[in-house]
């Protein structure tokens, strides 16, 4: 495909929502699949790969990212790691599906009177042939510049019943988009087989390309309530460091609807362009096995794994050694607190296990033992009655909030780097192998003044050790529960 000289800026819009429960126990609500290195053999996460595969597209601008406010620091850090400064990180106070997310992005991108092309992408897709992907995007640019709403339909490799389909009004053309005849919900097997026989059907990928003005005009005509609620949420937004926090009440009033349903199924401007680039939405462990590079025995091995005589397995270790000995067609995933062992043919049923854990109130349903914070992370090591031990890692130059606890005292032992510890207004320097004590009720803050990550062991003791026993008085990260600092 020939590249197209671009007169209009191209702004990637990366949608980072979703919890990816079918990839539990790795993907959880507190740290979903898009923030993990799942595809390829490197350390780039799915989110980072989503941006990196765009390199070389004509007129490419800085990305707009839309994420859950709970994940804002993860998104910002992962962009920093690959040297990307986003045009903005928009924070959704709650999930409202893709139509509101796209509406907010289009409004924000055109706020200064600009009318860029918007390339709508999901943060959790795998595309193993990025050069083909870029060529297909470039082929869609002329139609998008002319006002068409282009969607990228995945060229089917099988009569899948788990995907929605798009029917083209005429024979598909890999060089240019053609008009859309209809969208079809997930079909049964016989219907899907009939679709493939026509040569006019593609899988619905949820990726789009259009002018901001074209989408805003169709939203105004076809989904005015979505547009008005999103405009209100942006008009009353608030800046929060490098983030833009959408106003909660207005966004909560927005209909929860997909862009396909709100606009694409109704518009006369829809066009589809076939994409054949080894794509996967990584909807299950078996799908990840299929799209990953396998060894001569059909195995995909990640982390500290030994395989002897095993075939067609996905074996993954995040911490402990995993040994597969003479097993076949298994998915084995080891994390800090869970080991999943499943037959590949039943791996998609893990979503039901997550639902069962949620009903039981099990913490493993939502979070790992490692919890990420804007200043670093902490790991739960061990806990008992009225005490627990954590390992805390603070990034260079980072600082925890000034805080106090009503129900617990803390002992800190620095094991790497140097800490500045503030207690009731007095600072002390604590080096490796030194310790300090934080009494119950003391106002305290922990800072890493050094150039390397600072690590310490924290021993908590008291009648209640929940994370909600934190009263913040000052916080450089703008978290919303800061209390006024009254004189003592």
Band (pLDDT 50/70/90 cuts) for residue 372 is confident
User: pLDDT band for position 40 (50/70/90)?
Assistant: confident
Asked if residue 209 has pLDDT above 70, the reply is yes
Share of the chain above pLDDT 90, in %: 82
Concatenate the DSSP letters of all residues of 143-169 into one string.
Answer: HHHTT-EEEEEEPPSS--SSS-EEEES
- pLDDT of 1 above 50: no
What whole-number distance in Å separates Cα of residue 346 and Cα of residue 425?
57
pLDDT in tens, 137-184: 999 999 999 999 999 999 999 998 889 999 999 999 999 999 999 999
Alpha helices in 316-376 (DSSP H): 350-359
Please give the structure tokens belonging to residue 285. 């462990």
d(CA 68, CA 75): 10
- H or E segment to which residue 191 belongs: helix 189-198
Lowest mean pLDDT among 97-111, 129-143, 369-383: 369-383
Say what the pLDDT of residue 42 is: 77
Confidence of residue 7 (pLDDT cuts 50, 70, 90): low
Q: Which residues pair with 213 in a beta bridge?
A: none
In this prediction, residue 480 carries a pLDDT of 62
Both ends of the chain: CA-CA distance in Å?
Answer: 70
Query: Could you tell me which CATH class the domain 375-474 is placed in?
Result: mainly beta
Residues 6+ apart with CB under 8 A from 277: 127, 128, 129, 130, 132, 133, 136
CB 92 within 8 A of CB 230: no
* Sequence ranges of the domains in the chain: 10-280, 285-354, 375-474
Whole-angstrom Cα distance, residue 317 to residue 74? 22
Q: Coil, strand, or helix at residue 455?
A: strand
Query: Phi/psi at 50 (nearest 5 deg)?
Result: -60, -40
**Are 222 and 266 within 8 A, CB to CB?**
yes
Segments of 199-334 assigned E as strands: 201-211, 238-240, 243-245, 270-275, 279-280, 300-302, 305-308, 314-317, 322-325, 330-334
Q: What is the pLDDT of residues 468-488, one digit of tens each?
A: 899 999 988 876 655 554 433
Q: What is the pLDDT of residue 19?
A: 79
pLDDT tens sequence across 396-450? 999 999 999 999 999 999 999 999 999 999 999 999 999 999 999 999 999 999 9
The CATH class of the 10-280 domain is: alpha beta
* Phi and psi torsions of 475, nearest 5°: -150, 120
Q: Which residues of 11-39 are buried (b: 16+ CB within 10 A; e: fewer)?
A: bbbbbbbbbbbbbbbbbbbbbbbbbbebb
Q: How far apart are CA 191 and CA 483, in angstroms?
A: 59
- Which range has the worst mean pLDDT, 223-232, 242-251, 269-278, 335-344? 242-251
DSSP secondary structure code for residue 442 in this structure: -
| pTM: predicted TM-score of the whole model, two decimal places | 0.88
The structure tokens listed for 172 are 């598909």
């Amino acid at each position: 495909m020939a590249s197209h000289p671009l007169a209009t800026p191209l702004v990637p819009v990366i949608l980072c929502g979703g919890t990816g429960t079918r990839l539990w126990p790795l993907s959880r609500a507190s740290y979903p699949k898009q923030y993990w290195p799942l595809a390829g053999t490197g350390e780039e996460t799915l989110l980072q790969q989503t941006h990196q595969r765009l390199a070389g597209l004509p007129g490419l601008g800085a990305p707009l990212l839309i994420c859950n406010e709970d994940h804002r620091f993860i998104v910002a850090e992962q962009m920093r790691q690959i040297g990307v400064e986003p045009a903005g990180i928009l924070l959704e106070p709650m999930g409202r599906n893709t139509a509101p997310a796209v509406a907010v992005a289009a409004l924000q991108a055109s706020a200064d009177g600009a009318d860029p092309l918007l390339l709508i992408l999901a943060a959790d897709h795998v595309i193993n042939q990025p050069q083909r992907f870029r060529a297909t995007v470039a082929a869609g640019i002329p139609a998008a510049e002319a006002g068409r709403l282009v969607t990228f339909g995945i060229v089917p490799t099988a009569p899948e019943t788990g995907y929605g389909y798009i029917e083209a009004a005429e024979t598909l053309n890999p060089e240019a988009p053609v008009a859309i005849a209809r969208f079809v919900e997930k079909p049964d097997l016989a219907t899907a087989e009939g679709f493939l026989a026509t040569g006019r059907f593609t899988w619905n990928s949820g990726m789009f390309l259009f002018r901001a003005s074209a989408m805003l005009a169709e939203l105004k005509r076809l989904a005015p309530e979505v547009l008005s609620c999103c405009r209100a949420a942006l008009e009353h937004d608030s800046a929060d460091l490098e983030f833009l926090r959408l106003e909660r009440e207005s966004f909560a009033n927005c209909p929860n609807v997909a862009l396909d349903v709100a606009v694409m199924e109704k518009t006369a401007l829809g066009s589809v362009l076939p994409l054949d680039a080894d794509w996967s939405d990584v909807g299950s462990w078996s799908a990840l096995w299929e799209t990953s590079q396998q060894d001569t025995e059909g195995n995909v091995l990640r982390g500290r794994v030994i395989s002897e005589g095993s075939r067609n397995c996905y074996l993954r270790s995040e911490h402990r050694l995993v040994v597969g000995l003479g097993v076949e067609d298994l998915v084995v995933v080891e994390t800090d607190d869970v080991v999943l062992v499943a037959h590949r043919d039943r791996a998609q049923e893990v979503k039901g296990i997550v639902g069962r854990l949620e009903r039981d109130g099990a913490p493993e349903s939502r979070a790992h033992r490692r919890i990420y914070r804007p200043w670093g992370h902490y790991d739960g090591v061990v806990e008992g009655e009225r005490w627990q031990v954590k390992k805390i890692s603070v990034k260079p130059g980072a600082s925890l909030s000034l805080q106090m606890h009503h129900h617990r005292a803390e002992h800190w032992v620095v094991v790497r780097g140097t800490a500045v510890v503030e207690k009731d207004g007095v600072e002390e320097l604590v080096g490796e192998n030194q310790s300090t004590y934080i009494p119950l009720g003391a106002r305290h803050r922990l800072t890493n003044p050094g150039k390397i990550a600072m690590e310490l062991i924290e021993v908590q003791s008291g009648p209640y050790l929940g994370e909600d026993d934190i009263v913040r008085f000052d916080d450089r990260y703008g978290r919303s529960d800061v209390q006024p600092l009254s004189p003592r």
